[in-house]
Copies of this chain bind each other. A is one copy, B any other.
Amino acid sequence: MNMQQKRFFLSENEIPTQWYNIQADMVNKPLPPLNPKTKKPMKPEDLFPLFSEEASRQELDQEHAWIDIPEEVRDLYKNYRSTPLVRAYGLEKALGTPAHIYFKNESVSPVGSHKLNSALPQAYYCKKQGVTNVTTETGAGQWGCALSYSAKVFGLEAAVYQVKISYNQKPYRRLVMQTYGAQVTPSPSMSTRAGKDILTHDPNNQGSLGTAISEAVELAMTTPEKCKYTLGSVMSHVSLHQTIIGLEAEKQMEMAGEYPDIVIGCFGGGSNFAGISFPFMRHNILEGKKTRFIAAEPASCPKLTHGVFQYDFGDVAGYTPLLPMFTLGHNFMPANIHAGGLRYHGAGVIVSQLLKDGYMEAEDIRQTEMFKAGILFSRAEGIIPAPESCHAIASAIRHANICKETGEEKVILFNLTGHGLMDMSAYDQYLSGSIQDFEVNEEDVKRNIDALEKIL
């Protein structure tokens, strides 16, 4: 009978009051974003038309390692933070591994995922500078739910473009956004120039984060002063906000009397991975610690393991700044996997640089492996994880199984980004044996990258 402590919480006055900006500590700083027309490096003020001023400044801040979390945001963080750090005794037992497995349970946020960590400050900064409307894209809907709620709390109107396949496959998340009061449009739509261009060429286009970003960016750019664009991953300021996860986890691991050997996050644009990793990676950079950091990406959209490091657009239409990133090409159209939140062609600039410099690793994981991991986890720990989070679980299981072979008691920490209670139809398909595996088509990627080189 194991009566050791399972869950670790911080009291409200122990919750970190600053985010960690790894850019300040990086040996090789990320290359600057480029203006898509002039190809010149962009300054914070060049981003003001798109993002809030504060988010724009944070985006390019390579100086300050610690950035204050506004009091208004800290107050709302307290509605769900600290999130528990959990020792996964059930999973360890199910695997028969000597590894110590911990997960940070971000699924307990009111919107069901870590996305709220950045939606709250982004909405707050918009409100603070007098903006009245916010817009964004969403895949599976986790980010859209977070932004819709955050907009409501700060009295802003939210317009969300949701990737069409998710809009149809996952109606519940759309209903959550509508319950919070947001306007939700399936993307590509006929309501923007970018959407029209796509739909007139390809009427059955099911959308991707790239198409939805184009539409949201267009809406913001054509509604000056009043409407700002926000987004849920990729950008450096989003990763910054997500470091609250790792900063809490660092204190909580200390309460558990351990330090991770391996830190794992699933990987779409990189923000949750950054959030759980950077506060620990800091000690690798500054003190020479040897923790391994593993990004778990879907085999069907493997920008880190199969992409190239190159300047690329963040969206399909080419509206966004050019960013130096690992990418499959902005025209890459991923297979219709169930982890909608990971269907993005590129990686954030910070994680891209860190991967290039050897500070982190990446693994690609197929759908069937990740669902198998999700079912095992749900039966062992009770929590049904989002398909996105299942990638991190699958990777944690891989490494726990290696420990079983070697007998090593490694400490593995992964981020449970969200619950899968709104993804049950995906589990249904897996349980009934009708889930397909997709691998990336290498020729598609090459064609995309070649096309990209001609643009640049």
Contacts and interface: CB of A to CB of B under 8 A. Distances in A.
A110 B75 contact: no
Contacts of A79: 6-7, 86, 90, 381-382
A215 to B, nearest CB: 24
A318 to B, nearest CB: 36
A384 B75 CA distance: 20
Nearest to A180: B379
Contacts of A109: 382
B424 A421 contact: no
B1 A12 contact: no
A9 interface: yes
Contacts of A35: none
B375 A78 contact: no
A72 interface: yes
Give the copy number: 2
B75 A1 contact: yes
Interface string A257-279: 00000000000000000000000
A78 B7 contact: yes
A431 B179 contact: yes
A375 B86 CA distance: 31
Given A112-B421, A378-B180, A427 B175 contact: yes
B424 A175 contact: yes
Main secondary structure of the interface of A (DSSP, over half): helix
Contacts of A383: 110
A6 B78 contact: yes
Interface residues of A, number: 48
Contacts of A5: 12, 78
A90 B149 CA distance: 13
A329 B42 CA distance: 73
Nearest to A109: B382
A71 B425 contact: no
Contacts of A6: 12, 78-79
A178 interface: yes
A221 interface: no
B421 A2 contact: no
B421 A176 contact: yes
A66 interface: no
B382 A111 contact: yes
- Give the top 5 A-B pairs by smallest Cβ distance, nearest first: A110-B382, A175-B424, A172-B424, A110-B383, A6-B78
Given A6-B12, A172-B424, A421-B422, 13 more contacts: A1-B72, A3-B71, A9-B9, A79-B86, A90-B153, A109-B382, A111-B382, A149-B379, A153-B382, A172-B172, A172-B421, A178-B431, A421-B421
22 contacts: A6-B12, A6-B79, A7-B79, A80-B382, A90-B153, A109-B382, A110-B382, A110-B384, A112-B421, A149-B382, A172-B172, A172-B424, A175-B425, A175-B427, A175-B431, A176-B424, A179-B424, A179-B427, A179-B431, A180-B378, A181-B379, A421-B421
